[in-house]
Amino acid sequence: MKIKDLFDYKYGVNLELINCQETKDRDDNSVNFVARTSNNNGVVSRVKLIEGLNPQKAGTLSLATSGSVLSCFVQTEDYYSGRDLYVLTPKIELTLEQKLFYAMCISKNKYRYSYGRAANKTFPEIEIPELNVCDSIIQDYKVKTITTRVKENNLLTDYTNWKEFKLSKIFKMERGCRLTKEDRIVGHIPFVTAGYENYGVVSKISNSEQKSYYNAITIDMFGNSFYYENEFKCDDNILVLKNVNLNKYNAIFISTIITKDKYKNSYGRQYRQKDYNNHIIKLPVKNNQPDWTFMEDYIKSLPYADRI
């Protein structure tokens, strides 16, 4: 099946943000402005409605055919579109989960348009999975309600009350155990190894000899850092960091800071235990200790924090 078989497509309203009136108001007289970006669901601003110009409808997919080519998103609110954006409308009724699945499938074809190639003429011919394949994949997933409320965030305006900490002084660290691909037993527990894609999860296993972890931050051999709230297992390319104060909000704060240092391990240098022992990050403090509450509040204050 091709995109054109499942979606009707048309060129958007082709606006320039500079010619729109930006606003912070969220009322019946304003809509999101979606541009050719791969960030923030494509939303770059909020703008006033233009008399006589109807916005694209919520529930459609926005598709960039230049810029960040083939960035495809489900828009859950009415919106105006910028240059080189197409609007995809399902020919049949689709659930939100199905729309998100197809947006992901379409975006995975970005590699076809490297080196400045645009997709405005060829994207309708891109192959996408049949509906029965889509349904078999998403049947175990439920999507939270998506909002696009942008909150005022003035928390990170003063960095004077921050302090350097060695990771080894904050966390209890363990290394995962080696497990080759051949020895993995298919199961339901995510198995994490080194890599940036899919949070490092490469399969699901049931190997009982592999220790399970929960509510932990990981660092892999490339310096990538992620947080896992639920049960996972990992191999010896992963360092697991634990602290009783961790929750999904302050852990995201810290793992983001850790990942910012991954450039130190470029050109084939691996992040190992000696690097961990010497790794210093700077965090907000309270009573000379990491301010876990501040970090949590900061993440909660970000746009789309309700989706975490």
Residue 140 token pair: 């175990």
What percent of the chain has pLDDT above 70?
A: 93
For the domain with range 162-307, which CATH number is right: 3.40.50.970, 3.90.220.20, 3.40.50.300, 3.40.140.10? 3.90.220.20
Question: CA-to-CA distance for 199 and 252, rounded, in angstroms?
Answer: 13
Whether the domain at 3-138 and the domain at 162-307 fall into the same CATH topology: yes
pLDDT tens, 21-56?
Answer: 999 888 889 999 999 988 899 999 999 999 999 999
The pLDDT value given to residue 150 = 45
Three-state DSSP at 174 gives: strand
Helices 131-138 and 96-107, interaxial angle, to 10°? 110
- Please report, for the chain, the start and end positions of each structural domain, with discontinuous segments joined by +: 3-138, 162-307
Dist. CA 286–CA 293, nearest whole Å: 9
Structure tokens of 250?
């302050």
Q: Positive or negative CA dihedral for 42, 45, 46, 48?
A: negative
| pLDDT tens-digit map of 187-230 | 999 999 998 888 899 999 999 999 999 999 999 999 999 999 99
Backbone angles phi, psi at 47, to 5 degrees: -135, 155
Residue 208 Cα distances to 24, 180, 215, 234, 237, angstroms: 52, 14, 19, 12, 19
pLDDT of residue 158: 60
pLDDT reading at 307 higher than 90: no
Mean pLDDT of all residues in 273-282: 93
What is the pTM (predicted TM-score) of this model? 0.54
185 or 160, greater pLDDT:
185
CB 254 within 8 A of CB 281: yes
pLDDT, position 151? 45
Instruction: Reply yes or no on whether the pLDDT at 7 is more than 80.
Output: yes
Task: Take residue 95 and report the two structure tokens written for it.
Answer: 């659930």
Tell me the C-alpha distance between 107 and 86, whole Å: 13
Q: How far apart are CA 46 and CA 214, in angstroms?
A: 39
- What would the pLDDT profile of 51-63 be if each residue is shown by its tens digit? 999 999 999 999 9
Residue 130 CA: distances (Å) to CA of 6, 30, 61, 102, 105: 9, 36, 18, 10, 11
Between CA 284 and CA 298 the distance in angstroms is 11
- Residue 266: is its pLDDT beyond 90? no
Half-sphere exposure of 282 (CA within 13 A, CB side): 6
- pLDDT band of residue 262 (cuts 50, 70, 90) is confident
* 100 — pLDDT class (breaks 50, 70, 90): very high
Helix (H) or strand (E) holding 124: none
Domain spanning 3-138: which superfamily? DNA methylase specificity domains (3.90.220.20)
Tell me 308's DSSP state: -
pLDDT higher than threshold 90 for residue 1: yes
